[in-house]
């Protein structure tokens, strides 16, 4: 009885295939054929287009940020921001440097509380100068006047709220005695396709 049912099923499949004029494959056959086709295609591409599978050697581009004196630690007061320009004096280079009085990601100084961030919102470049504030234990940059984005300066400028989808670019700082130096950027400055406007650097 089971054989007759099986035979009946096969005849129905053959009949269906015949009606549609198509070749019907089971899963195993499909996988075998598709694998063979892929192997053939790769062989053909190597034969017809020699050298396409080889990787070309290229030199890495190393970006050297300038080391720029941006202030004196002794002149910084808690939660009183200062305006600096980095990494150059070109378009969109203004940044806010502030001693927050609390430990910050990327902060320098005895309390790790001195940080600096780009003064342009990452959403549409809204101005953030003069928009640093303290809310309870939080240290916030913003809100942006365009779409109300705010950033947490204690956590590498991460977004708190608003339309922005990238953290605020952080200026990397170093201390040499009382001198504060800006030495690099973390994140892309709004309105630029690269942070450095030219290849010239200062030492």
Give 155's DSSP letter.
G
Residues of the chain with CATH 2.102.10.10: 68-186
- Distances in Å between the Cα of 33 and the Cα atoms of 27, 124, 165 are 10, 51, 45
Average pLDDT of the chain?
A: 81
With a CB cutoff of 8 Å and minimum separation 6, the contacts of 163 are 123, 124, 147, 148, 149
Length of the chain: 203
Question: For 126-164, how does the pLDDT look when each residue is reduced to its tens digit (9 = 90+)?
Answer: 999 999 999 988 999 999 999 999 999 999 999 999 999
pLDDT over 70 (residue 175) = yes
Residue 32: pLDDT band (50, 70, 90) is low
**Which uninterrupted H or E stretch holds 141?**
strand 138-141
In this structure, what token pair is assigned to residue 140? Answer: 């916030």
pTM: 0.68
Question: For 84-135, how does the pLDDT look when each residue is reduced to its tens digit (9 = 90+)?
Answer: 999 999 889 999 999 999 999 999 999 999 999 999 999 999 999 999 999 9
Domain at 68-186, CATH from 3.10.350.10, 2.102.10.10, 2.60.120.200, 3.30.930.10: 2.102.10.10
Burial of 150 (0-12, 13-18, 19+ CB in 10 A): buried
Residue 96 pLDDT:
97
More confident residue, 182 or 13: 182
The CA angle 138-141-142, to the nearest 5 degrees, is: 115
Residues classed as catalytic? 123, 147
């Amino acid at each position: 009885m089971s054989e007759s049912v099986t035979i009946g099923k096969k005849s129905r499949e053959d009949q269906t295939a015949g009606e549609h004029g198509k070749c019907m494959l089971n899963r195993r056959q499909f996988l075998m054929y598709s694998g063979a086709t892929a192997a053939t295609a790769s062989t053909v591409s190597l034969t017809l287009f020699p050298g396409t599978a080889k990787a070309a050697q290229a030199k890495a581009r190393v970006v050297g940020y300038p080391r720029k004196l941006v202030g004196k630690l002794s002149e910084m007061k808690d939660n009183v921001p200062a305006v600096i320009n980095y990494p150059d004096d070109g378009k969109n280079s203004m940044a806010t440097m502030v001693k927050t009085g609390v430990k910050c990601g990327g902060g320098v100084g005895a309390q790790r509380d001195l940080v600096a961030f780009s003064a342009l919102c990452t959403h549409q470049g809204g101005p953030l100068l003069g928009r640093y504030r303290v809310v309870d234990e939080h240290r916030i940059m913003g809100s942006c006047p365009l779409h109300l984005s705010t950033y947490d300066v204690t956590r590498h400028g991460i977004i708190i709220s608003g339309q922005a989808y990238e953290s605020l670019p952080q200026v990397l700082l170093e201390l040499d005695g009382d001198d504060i130096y800006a030495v690099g950027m973390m994140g892309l400055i709004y309105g630029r396709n690269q942070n450095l406007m030219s290849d010239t650097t200062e030492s």
